[in-house]
Amino acid sequence: MSRYIIILWFVFPLQLWAQQVPIIGIGDDFKYEKSLSVTNFFKETVTFDELEKDLIILDFFNTYCTTCIEAMPKYKEIQSQYTDRLRILPVSTEERPKIHGMIERNSKIVDQDFPIVLEDKLLSEMFPYLSVPHLVWIFKNKVIAITMGDMLTSKNIDKILNNETVAYWPIKNDFPIAINHTKKEEFESFTKIGKYKNGLPAKFDIDTIGNYIYFKMDNVAPIQAFLYLYGLIEKLPLMKKERMIFNVAQIGRLLNIDSLPYSEWLQQHAFCYESSWPIAINEKSQINFVISDLSNRLGYKVNLDKREANIWEIVKRKQLRNKAMKAMSDKLQRLDVSIQLLEILNKDFPPILFDTKQSNTMIHLEQVKDFQSLRESLRQQGFDLIKSRKKITSLIISE
C-alpha cells in the first residue's frame, strides 16, 4: 500500500508543475509595478518602489505553517541591523480575515512597520512553490537566490549586501523537470549513488517497470534515508535522539553539529541514490537489499534493533470519573495522538511509552512543560508517569 501512496505523491507535483511554469528564476530581473495588498502596516497597499531597499526577501507562507509564524517575530530584529538596506516581506495567498486571525493569536507579530502581503496571486505565479517557507532573494532588482527558510540568517544577508556570490547556495525548486525512464534495459538490476544535486527537491520514489522494482532517492540525508526504508517494513515510533546510536568517527556526516542552516548541511552531506531489483523478490527482501547496498556505499553498518534507554512510561491507575471527563469533553483527544504531539513539540522529552491498548483513551493535556507537570496532568485523568529504562526500537549506525 505504501508504494502506491508514494507514486501518487510523485505524480501530483508533476501535473501541477505542467500548469505553473516559473516565470522568473535566479538571475532574472525583477520588476513589479502593481500595488500589493498588505496588513499590519500604516496603509493597506504598498509598492516595491516605496520599499526602496537594496535587498528584498519575499517570504511565502501560510497560516498553517508553524515554522513560518514562529520566524516572524525575528524579522524586525534582523531588519534593524540593516536599517534602510533590507526588507523581509511575508507573502500569503490567504484572505484578510485569516491573516488577521493569525496576527491576533500571535501578539509578537503586531508591528506598524511590518507589512504582511495578503490575497496574493501574481507573486505566487511568478515564483511557484509547493511547500513553505519559500524565500525569494531580490538584490537590486535581480533575483539572486530561491531558498528554504533556514537560509535567512544575518551571516547570509551580510554576504549579499557585501556583493559576495551566493551562486553555490542550495536552491529550492519544487518543480524539477522529471526524467521519464521508458526503456526496459534501463531497469535491469543496478545500483548507483551520487552527490547532492542543487535545485532538486528531497524526494523518495518507488516504481515498478517491467520485471523490476525501481528505488530512487534525491537529495536525502543518511538518517532520513534509512528511517524511510525501515518505515516501509514496519511502523516506526517517533525516532527521537534517544533512539539513535552512532558508533562513528565523523558524527557531522550524520548530524548537523555545526549549526549550519539545514539546507547548507544537506548540500554537503545529502546524496542521490538509484537501484533496481527483480520484481520476483518479495517486498521486504527488496527493501533489505536496498538498506544493505546503501549502507555499504556510505561506509556504514546499519540496523534497527532494541536498545536500552531512558524513557517515561505511562501506566494506568484508575478509571477517570465521568463527571470530570464530561467537564473536559470539548478538549479531549486520543492518548496516542496527545503523546506524539507532546514528543514532537518537546525535543528534550525522552520517548514516552504506554500500553497500546490505551491508545484510544481520550485525555486532555494542558500546560505540560516537564516530567512533573505531565505527571500531574495524567494523574488527574487516571494515569501515572514513571521514569524508567527499557529496551526500545533504535536505529544503530556503526562504521
Q: Cα separation of 124 and 390, whole Å?
A: 50
CATH number of the domain enclosing 65: 3.40.30.10
Residue 368 and residue 377 in contact, taking contact as beta carbons nearer than 8 Å: yes
Domain contains 355? yes
Torsion of CA 326, 328, 332, 336, to 10 degrees: -90
- Contact assessment for residue 354 and residue 339, using Cβ atoms and an 8 Å cutoff: yes
- How many alpha carbons lie under 13 Å from residue 108 in its C-beta half-sphere? 9
One domain for residues 316 and 210: no
388: Cβ–Cβ under 8 A, 6 or more apart, which residues?
310, 311, 312, 313
- Residue 211 grid coordinates: 520485471
- Domain match, 190 and 255 both: yes
Asked if 270 contacts 202 with a C-beta cutoff of 8 angstroms, the reply is: yes
Q: How far is residue 96's CA from residue 124's CA, in Å, rounded to a whole number?
A: 17
- Range of 151's domain? 22-161
Same domain for 278 and 339: no
The three state secondary structure string of 129-151 is CCCCCEEEEEECCEEEEEEEHHH
Cell numbers describing residue 331: 478538549
| Number of C-beta neighbours around residue 399 at 10 A | 11
55 and 116 housed in the same domain: yes
Model pLDDT, residue 84: 86
* Same domain (yes/no): 119, 149: yes
- Identify the CA nearest to 337 among candidates 315, 363, 311: 363
The dihedral over CA atoms of 198, 204, 207, 213, expressed in degrees to the nearest 10, equals 100
Q: Which helix (H) or strand (E) holds 173?
A: none
> Which of 299, 331, 364 is where one domain is finished?
299
Instruction: Tell me which of 240, 270, 299 is where a domain ends.
Output: 299
Whether 143 contacts 24, CB under 8 Å: yes
Residue 291's pLDDT is 94
On whether both 28 and 154 belong to a single domain, the answer is yes
Run of H or E residues at 340 = helix 335-345
In the chain, count H helices and then E strands.
13, 17
Q: Are residues 278 and 379 in the same domain?
A: no
Task: Tell whether 145 and 229 lie within a shared domain.
Answer: no
Cβ contacts of 124 within 8 Å, gap of 6 or more: 60, 91, 93
pLDDT value at residue 326: 59
User: What is the spatial distance between Cα 145 and Cα 136, in angstroms, rounded to a whole number?
Assistant: 6
Do 104 and 131 fall into the same domain? Answer: yes
> Does 353 fall in a domain?
yes
Q: Is residue 363 part of a domain?
A: yes
Domain presence at residue 1: no
- End residue of a domain, out of 231, 265, 299: 299
- State the DSSP code for 239: -
98 domain residue, yes or no: yes
Contact 201, 174 (CB under 8 A): yes
pLDDT of residue 13: 40
How far is 386 from 379, CA to CA, in rounded Å? 11
Q: How many CA atoms lie within 13 A of 43 on its CB side?
A: 7
Please give the span between the terminal C-alpha atoms of the chain, in angstroms, as a whole number: 33
> Torsion over CA of 162, 167, 170 and 172, rounded to 10 degrees?
100
264 Cβ partners below 8 Å, 6+ apart? 151, 169, 170
Residue 144: CB atoms within 10 A of its CB come to 19
Is residue 101, in this structure, part of any structural domain at all? Answer: yes
In 3D space, the residue among 337, 387, 379 whose CA is nearest the CA of residue 360 turns out to be 337
Residue 176 lies in a domain: no
Are residues 294 and 337 both part of a single domain? no
Q: Examine the domain organization and report whether 153 and 32 are in the same domain.
A: yes
> How many structural domains is the chain composed of?
3
Q: Are 261 and 150 in contact (CB under 8 A)?
A: yes
222 with 252, same domain: the answer is yes
- Pairing outcome for strands 271-278 and 55-60: unpaired
Per-residue pLDDT of the chain (399 residues; tens, 9 = 90+): 333 333 333 333 433 433 443 478 899 999 998 999 999 988 999 999 998 899 999 999 999 888 898 888 888 889 889 988 999 999 999 999 999 988 888 877 877 678 999 999 999 989 988 889 999 999 999 999 999 999 999 999 999 999 999 999 999 988 765 444 444 444 567 889 999 999 898 999 998 887 888 999 999 999 999 999 999 999 999 999 999 999 999 999 999 998 899 999 999 999 999 998 888 888 888 899 999 999 999 999 999 999 999 999 999 987 655 555 555 666 788 999 999 989 998 989 999 999 989 899 999 887 889 999 999 999 988 899 999 999 999 999 999
User: Would you say residue 116 lies in a domain?
Assistant: yes
Gap between the Cα atoms of 292 and 299, Å rounded: 10
Pair 305, 337: CB distance under 8 Å? no
